[in-house]
Amino acid sequence: MKQSLYVKALLFFAGIIGAAVGIGQLIFPVAFEASTGIDIAGNSSLLSEIRGSGGTLLAAGVVMILGAFMPSLSAKALFIAALFYLCYGLSRVYGMLIDGIPDQGLVLVTIGEIIIGSAVLTAYRRLQRQ
């Protein structure tokens, strides 16, 4: 399966972001979450939850990056990217409706997740039609 430069760039970009967020949550959760005003220091249960999500995001990001360079993996990587980014973004929107508007940084992250997720989903659908 031939990969377009757009799909490669999209997967690489989505993967780098996912892996970076995953590393931040897994290795530096207190500092990472503090960047948006969230204080999790000393809460071992919450730290465990954040690290668990971080490890999952890191793994998904690696799959996305691999999909940028391995055409045989690109459809799966696009699907995973769409699933992750849209689920995160839409879950945050749900949270805003239920809990109220969070820190401005998290609102911007939500917008970015929905934009990236939509772009990846569109690329996935196009790839499926080929």
Q: Can you give the pLDDT of all 130 residues of the chain as single tens digits?
A: 567 999 999 999 999 999 999 999 999 999 999 998 899 999 999 999 999 999 999 999 999 999 999 999 999 999 999 999 999 999 999 999 999 999 999 999 999 999 999 999 999 999 999 8
pLDDT confidence of residue 2:
67
**Whole-number pLDDT of residue 5:** 94
Provide the pLDDT for residue 82.
98
Q: Which amino acid is at 42?
A: G
pLDDT value, residue 63:
98
Q: What pLDDT is attached to residue 34?
A: 94
Burial 111-123 (b: 16+ CB within 10 A, else e): eebbebbebbbeb
- Closest by CA to 68, choosing from 23, 105, 102, 18, is 18
How far is the C-alpha of 106 from the C-alpha of 28, rounded, in Å? 18
The whole-angstrom distance between residue 73's C-alpha and the CA centroid of its chain comes to 18
Return the pLDDT at 3.
77
So where are the chain's domains? Answer: 5-129
> CB under 8 Å to 96, separation ≥6 — which residues?
102, 107, 110
Closest of 46, 49, 65, 55 to residue 27, by C-alpha: 55
The two structure tokens encoding residue 124: 């996935």
What tokens appear for 102 in the block? Answer: 């969070």
The structure tokens listed for 14 are 């989505």
